[in-house]
Amino acid sequence: MTKVLEKNHIKSALQHGDGRNGGLPFNTKYFDGINLNRSAIERRVNTLAGRRSVKKEFQAAWLLKAISMIDLTTLAGDDTRGNVMRLCEKAKQPVRHDILEKLGMKDSGITTGAVCVYHSLIPYAKEALEGSGIPIAAVSTGFPAGKNSIEEKIAEIKRSVAAGASEIDIVISRDLVLESKWKELYEEIKLCREACGDAHMKTILATGEIPTYTKVAKASWVAMMAGSDFIKTSTGKESVNATLAVSLVMIRCIRDYYELTGVKVGYKPAGGIQKAKQALDYLILIKEELGNDWLTPELFRFGASSLLGDIERQLEHYVTGSYSAGFRHPMA
């Protein structure tokens, strides 16, 4: 009875306002008992391909859905104004007109979920996306290593928001996870959340650099308790980026947080998701573990650059029966 009353109290405190995650006071009781079984997690995700198969018109529909949840990304050292402008045009028209017409989706107005760039490129994205309604996401806090001071991180967030970013992807200090300094991690993320203001914050855990699933789960809990609107796997710069196994760990934490608070936190796998088949696997996992409510751009995003090209190629195959060369479907 006491636990039920506590849950009801937490939910009544958080379920108001704009529906965003207001976070929880720091308390290790929410994650102290987590101890995950690696083999069981990997066995669960390995069953996906054999149990679920999406074909023909259903596959086409799911792939169109996936496009609307892509953060179309360019985070290269040689990015220029021209690269960003082309990327934004692709975000506004992600699938060729003739393919959409054959799919009966000519007037669907489909776009990607956002465009993700470095801070210095926000003005170009803002110019290109004006009037489109597509959000600008900016990577921040010393991306990708996150090794600058908290003062520098906060200042960088505020500059990106002022420049026009409505979504901020932050990176945590990984050493705090490795050394189990959960209170310090909580305080860092909370300060970043406050600096974001009205901009939604996606917290990157860099799971490829976290040695155990148990630590990934605990870091996920801390990030959500500190007010993250999304939790995200990777920067895309690590040697290991998003995987289905680490995704299962993180989305089950999201599910548990929702059951406790009534607040829906979003999820973003990023890095290494290049093929349409991979995108379908992630969408099926989300549907099975979190349900249809999370199959929206408000609660699920892919962080990807080349994924869109393969999805468009698969859609052309569906309407023509033939595969075209990859260069016919450039990212930007």
| Token output for 274 | 């290049």
Check pLDDT > 50 for residue 11. yes
Query: What is the distance of C-alpha 157 from the center of its chain?
Result: 18
Location of structure tokens 């992630």: 282
pTM of the predicted model, to two decimals? Answer: 0.93
**DSSP class of residue 21?**
-
Compute the C-alpha angle 295/298/301, nearest 5°: 65
CA distance 238 to 314: 28
- Binned at pLDDT 50, 70 and 90, residue 5 comes out as very low
Which tens digits make up the pLDDT trace of 76-114? Answer: 999 999 999 999 999 999 999 999 999 999 888 999 999
**Spatial contact of 213 and 250, defined as CB atoms under 8 Å apart:** no
Regarding beta strands 302-304 and 70-73, do their DSSP bridges make them parallel or antiparallel, or are they unpaired? Answer: parallel
CA distance 245 to 249: 7
- 67: Cα within 13 Å, side-chain hemisphere: 26
- Binned at pLDDT 50, 70 and 90, residue 245 comes out as very high
Query: What is the distance of C-alpha 148 from the center of its chain?
Result: 23
- Lowest mean pLDDT across 1-15, 72-86, 114-128: 1-15
Catalytic residues: 169, 232, 268
So what's the pLDDT on residue 322? 85
CA distances in angstroms from 296 to 76, 98, 136, 260, 309, listed in the order given:
27, 25, 17, 22, 21
Check pLDDT > 60 for residue 9. no
**DSSP class of residue 155?**
H
So what's the pLDDT on residue 14? 54
CA distance 205 to 176: 11
CA distance 13 to 282: 32
- Binned at pLDDT 50, 70 and 90, residue 229 comes out as very high
So what's the pLDDT on residue 12? 44
CA distance 327 to 116: 22
Percent of the chain past pLDDT 90, that is, above it, reads: 86
More confident residue, 316 or 324: 316
CA distance 194 to 179: 25
- Binned at pLDDT 50, 70 and 90, residue 60 comes out as very high
Q: What is the mean pLDDT of the chain?
A: 92
Check pLDDT > 60 for residue 8. no
Check pLDDT > 60 for residue 21. yes
Rounded to an integer, the average pLDDT of 141-164 is 96
CB under 8 Å to 91, separation ≥6 — which residues?
72, 111, 112, 114, 115, 129, 132, 134
- Binned at pLDDT 50, 70 and 90, residue 323 comes out as confident
Cβ atoms within 10 Å, residue 292: 8
So what's the pLDDT on residue 325? 75
| Token output for 215 | 């630590």
So what's the pLDDT on residue 55? 86
Check pLDDT > 50 for residue 2. no
Domains and CATH numbers, the chain: 2-328 (3.20.20.70)
So what's the pLDDT on residue 65? 97
Q: Comparing C-alpha atoms, which of 56, 21, 85, 2 is closest to residue 253? A: 21
Rounded to an integer, the average pLDDT of 259-288 is 96
CA distance 228 to 21: 7
In single-letter form, the type of residue at position 97 comes to H
Rounded to an integer, the average pLDDT of 153-169 is 98
